[in-house]
Chains A and B, each alone.
Chain A
Amino acid sequence: MTAEYVGLGGWTPEALATPGEVRAVVSAPDPVLSRPGPEVDPTSDEVVRLAADLVATMRVSPGCVGLAAPQVGVSAQMFAVDITGHPKAVTVHGTFVLCNARVVEASRWKAGREGCMSVPDLTGDVKRASRLVVEGVLPGTGVPVRLVTDGFEARALQHEIDHCAGLLFLDRVAGAHAIYQRKVYL
């Protein structure tokens, strides 16, 4: 089955043909963040609009490299990612939105400290695969995509796929002393 999947094929948010609107980001303990999202029909107008909204909201949120549908209050398996320009970026696929994504290969697990726009006051140490293969479909066309990535983009993808499954980084912290008050920098 995986042979049908291809890369992003030069996909950009312009393919959605709508600028998208900025939506409010919800915070824990909003129950939508703890609910596994259903699969979506990638070709529906509603999903295309949501894809554009996720990109628009991600772009206006400082430091945001990914945003999943539950974070804007919609229980659905869909997220946007863009780690372009991040200092820890290795492989970069630019801005993309995936629907119904799942991890098909994960290896080289590494610990890292991560935070989340929906858990604004805490960070946590979470082990994530640094080599990752993800399969999903593109919004609008429904074209199947197989993404091979690593490092920081792999971490971001796992974080967003977790959101779609109703999981926060708090569900994956390394131990009882692995959550921290998020610092307010000088």
Chain B
Amino acid sequence: MNELAITVIGRDRPGIVADVAEVLARLGANLTDSTMTRLRGHFAMTLICVGPAAADVEAGLAPLAADGQLLATVRAVTPDGATPPAGEPYVLSVHGADRMGIVAAMTRVLTDAGGNVTDLSTRLTGSLYVVVAEVELPPGSSDEVAGRLARRAAELGVGVSLRPADSDLL
């Protein structure tokens, strides 16, 4: 079974999801994990599908991209093996005046501490820049990581918070 990584991005308009999903369904591509969102007027889709060959999906999506308003890429990927144990889950929030390098600086702190970003969104509105990320940290390291993030954030002139994202089993 082929596993495919597909991206579609283009000027937002009603119907992009339906158009792309119909092509995939017609080709027998089973949409598994995906994230789709609007980014400053562009609609971005990142999808993992299983089923047909990459070339067939590329050909199927080509008519949607023919007017130059959508860009689609299709790539065969290798399914993941066993997932390694996760660290402790936290949510990182950063906000402040927009400037170059905020994401780079803050994620470098996480990486150097052995952390892993599993989800991240940024938004720029006016001069306010906001980063929210789901991160996994090595057990027991959060205080130290929070300190390092705070020092780096102070250098950048932005605010930062790191809070537990543990869930309750009900």
Contacts and interface: CB of A to CB of B under 8 A. Distances in A.
Do A and B come together as binding partners?
A: yes
Interface of A: 63-66, 86, 88, 112-117, 123, 152, 155-156, 159-160, 169, 176-177, 180-186
Interface of B: 35-37, 83, 85-89, 118-119, 121, 134, 136, 139, 165-170
Contacts of A182: 167
B88 A115 contact: no
A155 B88 contact: no
A115 B89 CA distance: 14
B168 A183 contact: no
A174 to B, nearest CB: 13
Contacts of B166: 113
19 contacts: A64-B169, A65-B168, A66-B170, A113-B165, A114-B168, A114-B169, A115-B167, A116-B169, A116-B170, A155-B168, A156-B170, A159-B170, A176-B36, A180-B119, A180-B134, A180-B167, A181-B118, A183-B136, A185-B86
Contacts of A180: 119, 134, 167
B35 to A, nearest CB: 7
A182 B169 CA distance: 10
Contacts of A185: 85-86, 88
A177 B121 contact: yes
Nearest to A156: B170
A68 B85 CA distance: 30
Contacts of B170: 65-66, 114-116, 155-156, 159-160, 169
A176 B37 CA distance: 9
Contact of A123 (B35, B88, B167): B167
Contacts of B167: 113-115, 123, 180, 182
A152 B134 CA distance: 23
Contacts of B85: 184-186
Contact of A112 (B37, B134, B168): B168
Contacts of B134: 180
Nearest to A68: B170
A183 B169 contact: no
Contact of A117 (B36, B83, B169): B169
A79 B63 CA distance: 53
A123 to B, nearest CB: 4
B86 A184 contact: yes
Nearest to A169: B170
Nearest to B86: A183
Contacts of A86: 168
Given A177-B35, A177-B121, A184 B83 contact: yes
Contacts of B35: 177
